[in-house]
Chains A and B, each alone.
Chain A
Amino acid sequence: MKPLHKIAGALLLLATTSPAVAQLNIFACEPEWAALAMELGGNKVAVYTATSAQQDPHHIQARPSLIAKVRRADLVVCSGSELEIGWLPMLLRQASNPAVLPGKPGHFEASSFVERLEIPEELDRAMGDIHASGNPHVHLDPHRVARIAERLAERLANIDPDNREHYRQQHHSFAQRWQQAISRWEKVAAPLKGMRIVVHHKDWVYLFNWLEMIEAGALEPKPGLPTSVGHIAELRRRLKNEPARMILHTAYQSDRAAQRLSQMSGLPVVELPYTVGGSDQATDLFGLFDDTLQRLLDAAQ
């Protein structure tokens, strides 16, 4: 009897610790949501990130590898608000996985749980790549991230009720650390208030809204359209009347246009991580904001 007990005990141990059996498969469209899912899911989730900080989340191809991942996902976590409109609908149709279709518990669109900015009054493609339901880059406001974290934790518990208590604890711990971090960030970021900044693309609306910074112009003449020599000259003229402090771009955007304007205007060019993995320091959501603020403060000195 004794050896049998041992085997049964070993099997039981194997069953409870084997990650392949217990883990929830999460497909995150962007690194920021992958990082949040890992904070909230801990060891109960296996997270796959569809894009990296070096990739433009507007322009991803519905690659075979992504279809295979969506096929096996229990939960898809994306920005929504049409950020992924060029590729996610294709992935969902190709993957034939009913659990993660829009409207199902396995489909989580982060931006739908928070108030969006820049909702256009009028939709016209002549205005560039604008999104009907507002600017989708919501993750750069930590208050909005806190709201989304709450909803994502609820969703995890809903899909995986056996681990409800685990997700509640994970969220509790995250929310506490996040609130402390927000107080810290808001203190150090005080000098940035009212600062005028030139951006590459309208990626930073929520960051500026949070820190009360001002967008002084964009290198893209219209959202999503590459910059032109004429537009940069025009931007330069505008900056003479209304000066700015720096030019921002992300890791996935070429810095050529930013450098050209910098040569003409003398403004420093700052590359911000934009998302988790966008710099060596931005290894998680905390690092993302720490590094973003540090780089802004360094450039403002």
Chain B
Amino acid sequence: MLKRESLSIALSLILASGSAHAASSFNPDVSLILDGRYSSYGNDSDYELPGFMLGGEAGRGEEGFHLGHSELVLSANIDDMFYGKMTAALHDHEGATEVELEEAYIETLGLGGGAAIKAGRFFSGIGYLNDQHPHSWDFADAPLIYRGLFGDQLRDDGVQLSWVAPTDLYLKLGGEITRGAHFPAGGAANDGSGASAIFAKLGGDVGASHAWQLGLSHWQAEIEGRTSGAHDHGGGTTEIPTYSGDSTVNGIDFIWKWAPNGNASERNLKLQAEYFVRDEDGTVELAGSTPLGSSSYDGQQSGWYAQTVYQFMPRWRVGLRYDQLESDNSGSDDMVLAEAGLDDEGHRPTRTTLMVDYSRSEYSRIRLQYAMDDSYEESDNIITVQYVMSLGAHGAHQF
């Protein structure tokens, strides 16, 4: 009910802002992201990522023609002190169209001293890709480590405080306290403030043609009942792997961009790499099983990806990405861990992805992607054709 209401409010806002000179009116900026795909897979077994409990949006995606997220974004300055933004994503889930509130936050504009506060539901500032919208990603899907640890992207409800240092070298520090209810947290522990994060970003230019950014991140949560994909064993019993305990994630990310004389319109190159490691200590239960399967759990999961995207002429880009994961999980009952997907089955997940995309303008992009997916034991060849287009307000893209 609530979801349907927010949609109708959003739609009436769009209608209200139908006049041509939206920039001079008080109506918010509205934009709509359209994302459609066709995917072909080499095999059709159930997807798993050995050594990782999957959740959130994680999965290998649907086969054949399907829609990605159709996103509706509304944003505006609220007054001279606050900015607000909402993103609603519409997508199909088991035959029904669902509305998901991806982001809904306010942010201060003029606190002074380089400080800013964000409150509401937002993508965490950790890592490089995490707070970027999927439509601005350079590949059709998230890196494997984001799939494995965060269910594609880490977001939660809470507050974020950030500060930009008054230095020539860019330095931004940030901290977050959040509810801890979204995957990979769960249960909104600690009276609804179960997760927290800190991050630092450092960046600058080298000459006129090069720019870089280095990021360090730390996230931790008290988790009370994080659930992962349920599975059926026949006979009417459904087991839901559930984790409770501590979780910490540390990460480092690095971006390097090149454009001749800083003019990216003809040719430009982007190198990007991120590494995350997660440590967890707690208990895994198979909820719904009789007798209740339970095991102590001590896990370490890590992974990295590196990618490069080269625009060799206006409108055309090619990209290459390599992903690799590793896990070292142990507990009192190996059977329970295996049922929860935490047994790496002696397999080290890797994936190599190639893409080429064409942008008619900065508002439209058509992409062809090929992935050699060895992220689970049955290796797969995945071909994806995707369009991502935006209409409405001119979105400003971050570095």
Interface residues of A (CB under 8 A from B): 51-52, 54-56, 59-65, 67-69, 71-72, 82, 85-90, 93-98, 101, 103, 122-123, 125, 128-129, 132-133, 224-226, 252, 254
With a CB–CB cut-off of 8 A, which chain A residues contact B263? 54-56, 252
Residue interface mask B314-356, A partner, CB < 8 A = 1: 1100000000000000000000000000000000000000000
Q: Known: A64-B201, A125-B363. Is A55-B261 also a contact (CB below 8 A)?
A: yes
A270: min CB distance to chain B, Å: 20
Interface centre among A62, A71, A101, A128 (most CB of B within 10 A): A71
Give bound CA distance, A128 to B314, whole Å.
16
> Can you name 19 A-B residue pairings with CB atoms under 8 Å?
A52-B261, A55-B263, A60-B262, A64-B212, A68-B167, A68-B170, A68-B204, A85-B396, A86-B394, A93-B83, A94-B164, A94-B398, A95-B164, A96-B111, A96-B164, A123-B21, A125-B391, A132-B23, A226-B315
Using CB atoms, name the residue of chain A closest to B213: A64
Say which residue of B110, B111, B202, B361 sits within 8 Å of A224 (CB atoms). B361
Count of chain B residues near A, Cβ 8 A? 56
Give bound CA distance, A80 to B40, whole Å.
46
With a CB–CB cut-off of 8 A, which chain A residues contact B211? 61, 63-65
With a CB–CB cut-off of 8 A, which chain B residues contact A88? 396
Give bound CA distance, A72 to B115, whole Å.
13
**A90:B169 contact, CB within 8 angstroms:** no
With a CB–CB cut-off of 8 A, which chain B residues contact A82? 23, 394
**A125:B20 contact, CB within 8 angstroms:** no
Query: How many A-B residue contacts, CB cutoff 8 Å?
Result: 131
Cβ of B95 within 8 Å of any chain A Cβ, yes or no, is: no
With a CB–CB cut-off of 8 A, which chain B residues contact A61? 211, 257, 264, 397, 399
With a CB–CB cut-off of 8 A, which chain A residues contact B266? 254
With a CB–CB cut-off of 8 A, which chain A residues contact B264? 59, 61
Give bound CA distance, A123 to B23, whole Å.
11
Cβ of B237 within 8 Å of any chain A Cβ, yes or no, is: no
Give bound CA distance, A52 to B211, whole Å.
15
Cβ of B232 within 8 Å of any chain A Cβ, yes or no, is: no
Chain A facing B: main interface SS: loop
Give bound CA distance, A38 to B23, whole Å.
31
Give bound CA distance, A63 to B363, whole Å.
21
Say which residue of B83, B213, B262 sits within 8 Å of A55 (CB atoms). B262
Cβ of B80 within 8 Å of any chain A Cβ, yes or no, is: yes
With a CB–CB cut-off of 8 A, which chain B residues contact A125? 361, 363, 391
With a CB–CB cut-off of 8 A, which chain B residues contact A132? 20-24
Residue interface mask B131-164, A partner, CB < 8 A = 1: 0000000000000000000000000000000111
**A71:B394 contact, CB within 8 angstroms:** no
Say which residue of A52, A63, A96, A133 sits within 8 Å of B23 (CB atoms). A133
Interface centre among A51, A65, A87, A94 (most CB of B within 10 A): A65
Using CB atoms, name the residue of chain B closest to A84: B396
Say which residue of B107, B108, B170, B362 sits within 8 Å of A64 (CB atoms). B170
Q: Known: A59-B264, A64-B211, A64-B213. Is A98-B111 also a contact (CB below 8 A)?
A: yes
Q: Known: A85-B394, A96-B111, A123-B20. Is A64-B116 also a contact (CB below 8 A)?
A: no
A150: min CB distance to chain B, Å: 25
With a CB–CB cut-off of 8 A, which chain A residues contact B165? 68, 71
**A90:B265 contact, CB within 8 angstroms:** no
